Amino acid sequence: MNFSFDNIPMEGLHEECGVFGIYSDGTVNPAYACYNGLLALQHRGQESCGIAVSDEGVMNYHKDMGLVSEVFNNSILESLSGQMAVSHVRYSTAGGSVLENAQPLVMRYVKGTLAVAHNGNLTNAVEIRKELEQRGAIFQTTIDSEVICYVIARERLHSDSVENAVVEGVKKLEGAYSLLVMSPRKLIAARDPHGFRPLCMGKINNSYVFASESSALDACGAEFIRDVEPGEIVIVDKDGVRSIMPEKKCNKSLCVFEYIYFARTDSMIDGISVYEARKQAGRILAREFPVDADIVIGVPESGIDAAIGYSEESGIPYEKGIVKNSYIGRTFIKPSQSERMNAVKIKLNPIIDMIKGKRVVVIDDSIVRGTTIDRITNMLRGAGAKEVHMRISSPPFMWPCYYGTDIPSRGELIAVNHTIDEICKLSGADTLGYLPPDSLDEMLGGRCSGYCDACFSGNYPAAVTRLTLKGKERGGMNFDNKEKCASKEEE
Ligand code: AMP
């Protein structure tokens, strides 16, 4: 494989990944449990995946580019025998999609072996990496997860246990991490103090399981126990399970976009049903942007739940108006704009008989660059829709995300440079309504104890270092919200 680090801007990479890990009591095969868990997390990343197992302290792993079902087969899973495992599905932006960056990362260092699977984006990875490089560290990848491995490995040199190394190591990390660390004899789960990314815990008999989403617990037959708390570190070993809570608590800042788009509809995150949140967004849209129409349809998948809510509230019948080919990845997976445009066409097709001659309300979860809304409106008009009323179950995207959601540069966000009326005209829709930013609380049933909506509001809950900001600028963005996003040096 031809590979050049020169093409990969370390600062420009963004992870939207899924993690899954298990400490088995001997009744569950860890590699197969991971396989099933990863299949259920496939929507969180479709570029590469991997499983690392520990067999009586000896680590073995397999990872590759591609979908879980492509990368693993029975004989590979059979070869991954052991008592514990961590695993990962990865999404990255263009350039970073190489095998070297696939996870879990398995590192050999003076105290043995560590395997790490990470979801989220650190906001001080560039600084830590530079500092380590200046002291002679050599990095194999361009992902911030390798920085985490180094930090833990370094702490381990003067800690009496791997969990203490994790406890001390994560104090140096800033930003978003939902982390699974496997040492030869222990499985450790850690969630950053803001709780940006989800992480939950389940049980099969006496085997303990951790996953980005509860739907992955269901997939491997595990019973949901609870979410890992923001800042919490959970350790599982032969002595059982113990938890270390942070000394200092931060305001919880779970990414609200997990509910809007990212998570699976059958997942519960921090006690709130993703499906219910999406339906509620639809009800709010029906109240805020009513219209006389014949049918309500949703853009699969996340738009469907909101469309059901819109229908419930408005009394307009819900219909399946667009069919999705489930065998191709999420639109964004295609790195270039032209590839993305084609992907929309290949992925979605209208049911003409349902659409023809109708006044249609259509709901999608978000507008980023404006590619999808434009395609959908054209597709519905082409299918004979009399009117197309577009409703979006999130507020307008206005700001970049530093905590792990891939949002393009500000210059590419259509809502930054256009009014809602202009976006409506550009898309060819008859009317357009976005979820009002102040209704996110209501969308979450007033039950979320804290969430991050920085991509909509520009209110960043955690400082971002100057180098990370610079990295975004170098990544081609017209970044002008420095006053909104507290830079570390300016604090
Ligand atoms: P766009 O076509 O650029 O306006 O993007 C909007 C579409 O992309 C919507 O249909 C979303 O379902 C999807 N989408 C929004 N945000 C993301 C993201 N961070 N990663 C992948 N897909 C996304």
Closest ligand 1 atom to 374 CA:
2
| Amino acid in position 95 | G
Domain boundaries, the chain: 17-252, 268-443, 451-490
Q: Which of 368, 397, 414 to mutate to test the pocket of ligand 1 (most atoms within 8 A of CB)?
A: 368
Does the predicted model carry a pTM greater than 0.85? yes
Give the H or E element holding residue 161: none
The DSSP code for 260 is: I
448 lines ligand 1 (CB under 6 A): no
- Which of 366, 371, 377, 399 to mutate for ligand 1's pocket (most ligand atoms within 8 Å of CB)? 366
- pLDDT score of 140 more than 90: no
> Could you check whether the bond before residue 104 is cis, i.e. omega within 30 degrees of 0?
yes
Q: How far apart are CA 131 and CA 200, in angstroms?
A: 33
For residue 9, pLDDT over 50 is answered with no
Ligand 1 centroid–CA 262 distance in Å is 10
The yes/no answer on whether domain 268-443 falls in CATH 2.60.40.1260 is: no
Distance 332 CA to ligand 1 centre (A): 6
For the segment 253-281, what is each residue's pLDDT rounded down to a tens digit? 999 999 999 999 999 999 999 999 999 99
CA distances from 2 to 6, 48, 219 (A): 12, 17, 36
Residue nearest to atom 3 of ligand 1 (CA): 369
Residue with tokens 């600062």: 11
Q: Please, what sign has the CA dihedral across residues 312, 316, 320, 326?
A: negative
The Cα diameter of the chain in Å comes to 72
In ligand 1, which atom is closest to the CA atom of 369? Answer: 3
pLDDT for residue 250 is more than 80: yes
pLDDT of residue 338: 59
Percent of the chain with pLDDT over 70: 87
Token code pair at residue 195: 């709780």
**109-119 pLDDT tens trace:** 888 999 999 99
User: Contact at 8 Å (CB) between 50 and 64?
Assistant: yes
pLDDT tens, 173-224?
A: 999 999 999 999 999 999 999 999 999 999 999 999 999 999 999 999 999 9
Assigned token pair, 136: 């002679």
Q: Which of 334, 361, 363 is nearest to 261 (CA)?
A: 363
Residue 366 in contact with ligand 1 by CB distance below 6 A: yes
**Bridge partners, 451 (sequence order):** 254
Alpha helices in 189-335 (DSSP H): 214-219, 257, 274-288, 302-314
CA of 78 to the centre of ligand 1 (A): 37
Q: Specify whether the CB–CB gap between 163 and 189 falls below 8 A.
A: no
Ligand 1 within 6 A of CB of 365: yes
Q: Give every CB contact of residue 406 below 8 A, 6+ residues apart in sequence.
A: 14, 16, 91, 93, 332
Q: How confident is the model at residue 325, as a pLDDT? A: 87
CATH superfamily of 17-252: Aminohydrolase, N-terminal nucleophile (Ntn) domain (3.60.20.10)
Establish whether residue 415 lines the binding site of ligand 1, counting it when its CB lies within 6 angstroms of any ligand atom.
no
Helices 466-474 and 125-134: crossing angle in degrees, nearest 10, is 100
Is the previous residue joined to 301 through a cis bond, with omega within 30 degrees of 0?
yes
Q: Which residues are catalytic?
A: 17
Q: What integer pLDDT is reported at residue 463 of this predicted model?
A: 75
Question: Which atom of ligand 1 lies closest to the CA of 261?
Answer: 12
Atom 15 in ligand 1: which residue has the minimum CA distance? 366
Q: Are 299 and 394 in contact (CB under 8 A)?
A: no
**Pocket perturbation via mutation, ligand 1, pick of 197, 265, 331 by most ligand atoms within 8 A of CB:** 331
CA distances from 318 to 2, 197, 375 (A): 50, 32, 21
d(CA 442, CA 137): 48
Partners of 433 in the β-ladder:
391
Instruction: Let me know: does 203 contact 222? Beta carbons within 8 Å.
Output: yes
The answer on pLDDT for 432 being more than 80 is yes
The CA-to-CA distance between both ends of the chain, in Å, stands at 44
